Amino acid sequence: MEIKFGGILKCMAASLAAWALGANLAYAQSQSQRDMHLEAATRNTGGDSFLKDWTRDRYCMYVDNPALLAQIRTQRAPLPLMQIFDDVWFVGFQNVGQFIVKNPNGFTLIDTLNSGADVDNYTYPALKSLGLDSSASLLGAYITHGHFDHDGGADRLRAIFGPNFPIYLGSGDIAGKTYAPIPLDSDNLGYQSFSLGGRQMTVLSSPGHTPGTMSAIFPVRDNGIERNLLVVGGTAIPMNISASRSYLRSVERMYQAVRDFNAVGTLHPHGIIDGGNQHMEQIARQKTRVANPYIIGNEKLLRTVAIMRECGAAQVAQVDSTAKEPVWRVTSLAFDAQSPSTSRMAASLRSDWGPVPDQEVVFRLKTSGAMCTAMTDSNGLATCGSRFTVQPKDEVTVSFAGKANGDYVDLPAMRTAHVSNLQCDIDSNGSVDRRDISAIMLGINRPIVAGDPLDADGDGKVTINDARTCTQKCSKEQCAS
C-alpha cells in the first residue's frame, strides 16, 4: 500500500490496457496540458456538488478565475468567535482567520490574524472570553506561513506574552521576522512530529505558496472522538515556475499524509477557500456540532486534495509550456449486486474517466485475514473464484493499491462492507426488509456505478422495478423489519 506518487513514472502501461486508454489519450493530446489538468480537477469531484461548485472553483481560481479571486479578497467582514470542535474555536474575518485550540494546560493558536490591532480587537478578547488568565494561559502559536495575514499579529503577541512565548514558523519564511520565531525545518520534507502546548501534531513542510509554508496533521476532538484534520498551510499557487512546481509536489505529499493519518477534514485559515465559513454558518443554523460539517470523511478529503493537485498541475502547465505531469485520477470501488455475500465476492473499479481495467484488487476478510486477489475486466469488475469462502456478517475490505502509467496516476481506492447472504439486503443486516426497499426507492434515478446493489435487476439503473424485485424477496410478511 506504500505507493508514492511524486515522481515522474516511466510508461509501464500493459499492452492489454492500451486499447482502453486509447480514446482518452487521443482526447488528451487535443487539449493543452493546462486545460487537461483543469478538466481533471473537475472530473475528480466525482459529481459531488460541494466539491464541484465550491472546492474545485476555489483551489483552481489562481489558474482560471481571477475574477473570483478578486471578489474573495474584498470579503473582509469580521466573523464572531465560534466553537467548531470540542477543543477548537475560530475567530477572524471572512477571508482570513485563526484557530484557538484548548489543551489541558492552556490555549494555543494557529495563525495570528493580520496585525497587532487584530490581536487587541479579536484574538485577545476571544481568549479572555474562553478563560485566559483565570483558568489557562496561552502556550504558543504555530504560523502556517510568513505572509502578513497569518503572522501580522505575532509581534503584538510577543509584546504581550514575553520573550519565552513560543511562536513556530517554517524556517524558509523566517528571514527578517522581528518576533523571534522558533524555526520548523522547511528542508525536511518528511513528517516532523511536534508538540504544541502539549498537543502532539505532525507538521509537513509544504513549500510553494511560500518557501516556509508548513501544513500539518492536527488532532482535534469532535463530540468526544479524536480525529485528524489537515491544516492547509498555503493555497494561492505561485506563478513562478519553480515555486509552482514546489507547490505541486507539496500537495502530492499532503495527499499521502491524508492517507497515512486517515485525516477526515481541513482546518484552513482561509475559511472562504475550504468552505469553513459555510461550515460555521451551518453549525450556527443547526445550533449543534453533532454531524459536524467540518468532518467530510477521508474519501472526500482525498478527493479534495486530488483536486488541489490537479489545480497545481494546471498552474505548472500554464507557467511552463514544456511541463508534462501525469493526470491524477480518483478511483473508487463498489461491491456489485449480490456481493459481498457467501456466494459472491465482486467489486468494480472506476474513475471519473470510466472503468479501470486490468488492475489487481485485493479482497480481505476481517475475521480470518483471508485474501483473494482478482484482476478487473474490461468493465472494471473483479470477481473472486468460488473457492474463496466467507462467513455471513464478516467484514470484507476490497482495495486497489493504485497504478501509474506515465500519462495517468490512478489513485488508490478502498471499500468495506459486511457480508450478506441475501440479494437485496442493501444494509447487510441479514434480512430483506422495508429499510432495504426504501433505500432502493431513494436511489431511483440517481447515478450509480456498475454492479450497484440498489440495481437488483442489473439493468444499469435504479428503477421502481428494482424495488418490486426486492419486495418479492422480503424475509418477512409485508417486508417487516
* Binding stretches for Zn ion (CB under 5 A): 147
The least distance separating Zn ion from the CB of residue 218, rounded to whole angstroms, comes to 18
The least distance separating Zn ion from the CB of residue 266, rounded to whole angstroms, comes to 16
Nearest alpha carbon to residue 330 among 313, 352, 348: 352
Q: Which residue is nearest to Zn ion (CB)?
A: 147
Enumerate long-range contacts of 190-193, CB under 8 Å, 24 or more apart. 191/217, 191/257, 191/260
Which residues partner with 283 through β-bridges? none
The least distance separating Zn ion from the CB of residue 456, rounded to whole angstroms, comes to 52
Distance, in Å, from the CA atom of 62 to the CA atom of 65, rounded to the nearest integer, reads 6
Q: Phi then psi for 170, rounded to 5 degrees?
A: -55, 135
Nearer to Zn ion, 230 or 474 (CB): 230
The least distance separating Zn ion from the CB of residue 80, rounded to whole angstroms, comes to 24
Nearer to Zn ion, 132 or 231 (CB): 231
Nearer to Zn ion, 111 or 407 (CB): 111
Distance, in Å, from the CA atom of 307 to the CA atom of 411, rounded to the nearest integer, reads 12
DSSP 230: E
Distance, in Å, from the CA atom of 111 to the CA atom of 145, rounded to the nearest integer, reads 8
Nearer to Zn ion, 147 or 403 (CB): 147
The single residue listed with the C-alpha cell 506515465 is 406
The least distance separating Zn ion from the CB of residue 145, rounded to whole angstroms, comes to 5
Q: Phi then psi for 88, rounded to 5 degrees?
A: -135, 135
Q: In what order do the strands lie in the sheet with 88-93?
A: 78-85, 88-93, 97-103, 106-110, 137-142, 167-170, 182-184
Nearer to Zn ion, 144 or 304 (CB): 144
The least distance separating Zn ion from the CB of residue 79, rounded to whole angstroms, comes to 19
Distance between terminal CA atoms of the chain? 40
Nearer to Zn ion, 149 or 452 (CB): 149
